Amino acid sequence: MGIGATSAVFSILEAVLLRPLPYQHPDRLVAIWDGHVREASLAKVFSSYEDFEIWKAHSTSFEELAAVTWATGDRILRVRGRTRTALAIPASVDFFRLLGVSPLLGRTFQPEDRTRGCAVVLAHRFWEQNLGADANIVDQGVTLDERSCVVVGVMPPGFEFYPAAADMWSLITPGADTTRLNVGVFGRLKGGVTREAAQAELTALHRPTGGSGDEHRRMFVPTVYELQSEFTWLAGRNLRSTLLALFAAVGVVLLIACVNTANVLLTRATARRREFAIRAALGSGRWRVIRQLLTEGLVLSSAGAAFGVLLATAGVLWFRAINPIELPPGAIVGVDIRVLAFAALLAVLTAVVFALAPAWSAARVDIVSLIKGAGHEGSGHRRPTRLRAAMVTVQIACSFVLLVGAGLLIDSVGRLGAAPLGFDPARLMMTNVRLPRSGYTDIGRRVRFYDQLTYAVRAIPQTAGVAICTSLLRGRSTNFLAVEGRPSPSADSAVPDVGQDQTSERYFQVMRVPVLAGRPFDGRDREGLQPVAIVNDALVRRYFPNENPIGQRVRYGNDARAPWLTIVGVVGNQKTMNLYREMTWADAPMLYLPVSQNAPSEVVLVVRAAGEAANLGTAVQKVLTSLDPGIPLGELRSVAGDVSKTLAYPRFRALLAAAFAGLALVLALVGLYGVLAQVVAQRTREIGIRIALGARRESVLTLILSQGMWLVGTGLTFGLVAATWIRLLLATMLYDARNGDLRLLALVFFSFCASAFVAIYVPARRATRVNPVDALRNE
């Protein structure tokens, strides 16, 4: 079990952290993010496409530089008469050349494609599932957001970049759109160039140019990161530390298993002391006896490793079946030659760990006394040897620390899931709606369509409310907020900390977000009328701590051409996912604008179901088709389900840690029981004499219990000292530091003591039943 669990966790750790990326020269691939000069929470943001072009033209540290962005969201795809949404990732012409991966069909982007129009390369999964793996798809046309494109290639199976859900990659072509495009920049360093040298060069190139991006350049500086570590970070903010922590935990379980085995072999070595004395008398040296027992231990550990590989294989298959966490691109978990080699190495190491102590003990025999058949072991064997006591103490301390760590993780997941979100997710459904460019070019047309859509969906009997917003749950980009009558914010004196959302009239009612002051949006807030806004309580506390915000005028961003917005209401805070920290809900200042005055082309349709929502998605699709058959509808999904998905990874980590901690506890208690049972067996004659001389059985019970509890107390003392550091080690995996940790520590402590008492009581009770006549019969 120890080798199997350790090998299973190693297979995940090896696939994610140790295996090179499946690209050309993976050790030289880097990611370049912009980091805010002062605000740590804006540590990794996209760069501007203009900066990418400057770096590509003037940098000498890179063999290749490419730009990719996944900030554009789903797009409308028409292929072979069908309309659907697809995740098309814009990429620069050098993207595939940077990775050094050849297509399965056709080709990848070429420089001449930049002047020919729209070109796309399909992901193998999308080509297979949606186009029937048509080998003639190359050079066929598709329509992407009303733009005619040509399929130039299909990538091979298994090829992934971030995000893994990408359906295709579209070529970024010169045009007005690139001036507003934010991209992730990825590169391959030249041989011998360090990341520090490349970053220094990019920082020198990151200077004002007199263009529109100068303010961004004053706020942010480029930082060069290793690509593999960034893929791990993108897959899960704590994925690296989680895997290392779980590997350490399962390593402790394996150590406890080895200690238990060592105790068993110590007992066997004690029983074989006469055999080893005879061997020594016949000429076996000490090293020969040690080699014999190490060989026996290696046979035992090899058998354990063989069964452990079977357990690891089953564990990996289970992991791949439930798919509990997102893995970085190219990380395929399996039991391969590397995992088998690791299991073989464990077999050798564990054999040394659990067989060395009994081998050393057996080699130090008193040949003369044992061959003479000296009647009984000396008094030094009446109590557990120091080695056995130390091993049991280590077991108890380690298992206690694992229990405390697992308790902290489980408690954090529970509190994160129970944290109030500021709205009611029960029976709340959401789906994305993206309008095509043709026919919806002006705000008025989009506003009328959204009005028709919400009115028609509201008429469905299964709905209790319908609204529109532009973002829900997901982290939002932030910008400056200017307040009329105050100095305008700038990159030198302020931090962009305000998010923005656009909502329909009944949004706060449908979401059940309280209106704290003023009013919600209504029919007065239409296109061409006074621009208005609603702010949340966090924004009021940040910008209007001692004044009434109603009637105040603000401007989002520092563009002097942007309109001033009159605040007409204040609402409660809605929590969103934190982009940079996993175990945290963001509670940022928010500015809400009415959809009726802005009307973006992509929105989130929010529907509150009146009852069961089994067929609600089909009904909404019929409504949308009746309004415009050319508009695809995304999947209608539960908001509560999306919240649950954010907890799936922390929940899996907590449950796995709890499983390892529980296994460690069982093994530690078994070890404690085994040592005390051995003590009782060794002291049978002594206990018989005590009872024969008049000792009460309660005294014998107390004697054994005190000896066992002394071991437990010593182990828990060391465990408590180590547990004080466990919160620091798990800090990024825990939600909301609380004083309740002391209560959790006390709960684990007393639960452990109760379990240990049961393990001690059984052999102690057996000691009270020793018959003095039987104990002394052989004297």
Render pLDDT for 735-761 as a digit per residue (tens, 0 to 9). 876 655 788 889 999 999 999 999 899
Q: What is the pLDDT of residue 491?
A: 61
Residue 762 in any domain: the answer is no
Q: What is the pLDDT of residue 777?
A: 66
Give me the percent of the chain exceeding a pLDDT of 70: 93
- What band does 380 get if pLDDT is binned at 50, 70 and 90? very low
The H-or-E segment that residue 641 falls in is helix 639-682
**DSSP conformation letters of 534-563:** EEEHHHHHHH-TTS--TT-EEEESS-TTSP
Q: What is the pLDDT of residue 168?
A: 96
Residue 102 in any domain: the answer is yes
3-state SS, 271-334, equals HCHHHHHHHHHCCCCHHHHHHHHHHHHHHHHHHHHHHHHHHHHHHHHHHHHHCCCCCCCCCCCC
Q: What is the pLDDT of residue 517?
A: 95
- What band does 382 get if pLDDT is binned at 50, 70 and 90? very low
**Among the three residues 630, 660, 695, which one is the final residue of a domain in this structure?**
630
- pLDDT exceeds cutoff 70 at 212: no
Q: What is the pLDDT of residue 378?
A: 42
Q: What is the CA radius of gyration of the chain?
A: 34
Residue 13 in any domain: the answer is no
pLDDT per residue over 391-415, tens digit each?
889 899 999 999 999 999 999 999 8
Residues 6 or more apart whose CB falls under 8 angstroms from that of 167 comprise: 77, 86, 87, 88, 122, 123, 125, 126, 130
Residue 652 in any domain: the answer is no
CA-based torsion, 358, 363, 367, 369: positive or negative: negative
pLDDT per residue over 492-503, tens digit each?
667 788 999 999
Q: How many domains does the chain have?
A: 2
Q: Measuring CA to CA, how many Å separate 64 from each of 113, 153, 331, 381? A: 18, 21, 24, 71
Residue 302 in any domain: the answer is no
**Among the three residues 630, 653, 673, which one is the final residue of a domain in this structure?**
630
Question: What is the spatial distance between Cα 548 and Cα 540, in angstroms, rounded to a whole number?
Answer: 9
**Among the three residues 235, 264, 289, which one is the final residue of a domain in this structure?**
235
Which DSSP category does 14 fall into? Answer: I
Burial of 367 (0-12, 13-18, 19+ CB in 10 A): middle
Residue 166 in any domain: the answer is yes
pLDDT per residue over 593-642, tens digit each?
999 998 888 899 999 998 877 788 889 989 998 998 888 888 888 999 88
Q: What is the pLDDT of residue 613?
A: 75
Question: What is the spatial distance between Cα 473 and Cα 637, in angstroms, rounded to a whole number?
Answer: 13
Residue 117 in any domain: the answer is yes
Q: What is the pTM of this model?
A: 0.86
- More confident: 198 or 683: 198
What average pLDDT does range 305-327 have in this prediction?
A: 91
pLDDT per residue over 712-732, tens digit each?
999 999 999 988 888 888 888
The H-or-E segment that residue 686 falls in is helix 684-692
Burial of 546 (0-12, 13-18, 19+ CB in 10 A): exposed
Write out the two tokens for 40: 């740590």
Question: What is the spatial distance between Cα 218 and Cα 214, in angstroms, rounded to a whole number?
Answer: 6
Residue 222 belongs to domain spanning: 23-235
What average pLDDT does range 257-285 have in this prediction?
A: 78
Place of tokens 């990326």: 21
Residue 523 in any domain: the answer is yes
